[in-house]
Every structure is written in C-alpha cells, then in structure tokens.
Structure 1
C-alpha cells in the first residue's frame, strides 16, 4: 500500500516536473509565433488611392492614433512626400477630414513660419518603417522621428543633427477639421499644455474640446508661442501654437510624451501620470 502510494507520488512528481520543464519552451515558441504574426502586419495598406487609412502608432481601442499627416485632407497619403506634422487623433477609412489634433513637427533653425503648409518637411518613403504600435521616418532636413502610443498618450523621439537650434513645433491652431478656438500654455521648462476646440465630420457637428499636455525628457533652452503669423520668443501663452528649443550639439535625442483627455486639463495630466 505504501509502495503503491509512493509510486503514485513519484509519477505525479515526474509529470509535474515534465510540465515545468516544458513550460519555458512552450512560452518561447508562443513568443516566437506572436513575433512572426506581428511581422505580417502592414500599416501602409490602404494609405493610397483614397483608402484613407493611417500608418502611425496605436493600441487596440486606444484614444491616441499618433500618425504623420501629409497634404491629404484626411491625414496621410502614401503618394505624397511632405509631412506637415505628427498628430494625435485619426480615424481609419473615412473620406472626410477628422482629427489631426495638435500636429507636432521637429525643425532646426529660426522659427519664422507658423503655417504647417510652409514649414512642412520633405521625406522619402525609403526611410519609413511601420509596425503595430510603431512608426519611424527620416526627414530630409536630417531629423529622424519615431512614434509609439499607449491608450491615452503618444510618445515621440526625435534625433536631430548637432545644432543649438533644435525645435519642436506644437501647432494647436491647425487640424484636419474646422478649428474653433485654441489655447497654448508653456507651464515650465519641460511642459506644454493645450486646449483645442473643433468641429466637423463630413458636415458641421457639435464642437468638442481635446485637452493635451506634453512633457519633454529634458529642459528647453528657449521657447515661444505664436498667434496668427506673429511669433513671440519667450512668450508662455498664445492661441496658435508653441515652439520649444533644445541644444543637440552633444545629446542629439529629444523625447516627449503627450497625453490627452476629452474631459478637462486635469484628466490629461492624470493620463500623463498614469501612462507617461
């Protein structure tokens, strides 16, 4: 009886040990399979011939779709080769302008233009990469841009040439839909807050406001805002947009996280704290 019970325990132990030994191999195989499946995803499908999709970064059911906007009225078109900004909100497959809120673009030199149709950046599709939750492009001005996203934030990394005038432009006044009102505030030497009210989706709609807060990984060397075509260095508030400047002569990389909320500025700040 004791021998039978002992044998049963040994068999049970051997089975358990076998399962434990096999588990890491199984998990590794599952990980490899998952990696292969994500490699099959092509976010550029539908980005030409009025497919009206976008190639940028998003997570399932997320509020942020962080993606480049070219000259197309719905955001991105693969037949075009100028980027006007990387904006936070997109809807795939629609034929009308929607979202495109807070287009952000890295530049170098003096900030003299406030219309993104004038300061847009040329690029080659040979430098583009996109996969689930990730987008990368090399701009012809020598700046590299990378985007990723969480449910409520967009994360951006820019690699600049060596310069003391590396800028990030946050354009609150231009979207893919009609802009009604905007507010921009430079809160401190690392943070910019905006409130953007707009409307329109194939027709006139009830206005909505999206609140954003952008936190950079290091202090600005200078900043400014603009209203219309007037740029004011050192200004902390405006209605058109803001620029922040960095010295990248030694450290060429600048990172930032932008959180949004459709409730209020506090909601955006809480989302940044939770996911940034």
Structure 2
C-alpha cells in the first residue's frame, strides 16, 4: 500500500492547531530536560528531499535556542578525512540540559558516502563495525540517543526534487547529490537496507517515518519523540504516534510495503 494511501489527511487549520499543541508539549519536555540535566541527541537520516529540514524546524521552532542546537555539517575538510571518523561529530554532542538534532549524521558513511564512492569499502566496513560501540558508549555516558529515518516513495522524491529546481526559495537546497538521487535510487535502497540490518539494535534502534505526507510526518515524529522521553508533565494522549507513519524498524517492513523499495 502506498504511503499516501496510509497517510491521514489534515486540513491547514487542524494541522496548525495540532502542531501548536504538540509544540507546547515540547516546551514542557525542554523544561524537564533542563531541570534534570538531561542530554538528548536526535539523528535524522533519510533520502534526499525526505523532509528532514521541515521536521527539525517544527521541533525547534519554539524551543530555547540556548539549550537547542541543530547540527548540519558540510563537506569534511582534509583534516576531517585524516582523523578518526567520529571525531568531527564529537564536539557537537549535547551537554547536560541540551537537545541536539543532527540533520544527517555519522550515518553519511553508510549512505551518501557509500553510494557516491566518497569512502572506500574498508572505511565503510570499519564504520559498520565501530558505530554501535560508539553509540552505546554515548548512551552509557547518559545521552538519550534517538535515530529516525525519513522514507519517501520514488515518485514523491522525483516530484520534490523537481520542485526544488523551479522554486526560487528552495535553491539553497540543490546539491550535486540531488541530481543523481533518482539515478541511484536502487543503490540508496541497498545501502539503507544494509544499514538497518547491521545497526538496528535494542539500545539504539531505528525508527522509520513514512514521510510522503509532510504534515503527518512532522506531527507524528513529535508524538513519537514525546512517547520515548520520560516527562512527568506530558500529555500521554498527545504522545501517541500513528504506528502506520512512525514505527520501529523490523525486517518484515522491507517486504510488506511499509518501507519504499
């Protein structure tokens, strides 16, 4: 079944009202985070044009900028390429009382770098072997780590990438990688599937977001995040995501149509 068929419609007024309610819940969460010296790190991965920017914007829109950081690293420098792979990410990890959202993360090595040939097979394999020990070390240090993968259909990605090229307000989003995203669709699917198979685990699981419907994706990521974090003041009803839109990865989802192939 297509993602659009499973997405529930939301009028503009209803969407804005629901979003505001959920953003109030996020403010409660942040107050709890600051008060209890907690650390939250959220990784957002997904196909090009999957809507990572939009989800992150709605999460951070009304949060305190002093305790909220969005990290979107650019092309690695020569120094980065000659250093321990995770080194460029370590300075951006959350301190106590902080929430950090990474718009793409160290999983670049499992996706874009792998598909586009920006890393060697040896570098890719080294990453795959070391990423879970690295993440588990972060969790052991007190960081709450959440991993989201925004998934869209091939038709929807084609439409969004075309829209970027003609919309003057979206020109900054265009990159050389975008131009070959559709061409490498199957390669990205294979890389994603291997990433899930080797890095999904009980401690730092992958949560998949069916994102053909941008509004429903945004609302349900917030709901899902609220469901994962203990916060005594949260509205338990608001923290109930649609499990057809956000769900924890399992192998069956690769064959039953829940994840775009």
TM-score between both structures, scaled by the size of structure 2: 0.28
Task: Return the index of the structure with the highest Cα Rg.
Answer: 1
Whose helix fraction is larger, Structure 1's or Structure 2's? 2
Whose strand fraction is larger, Structure 1's or Structure 2's? 1
TM-score between both structures, scaled by the size of structure 1: 0.27
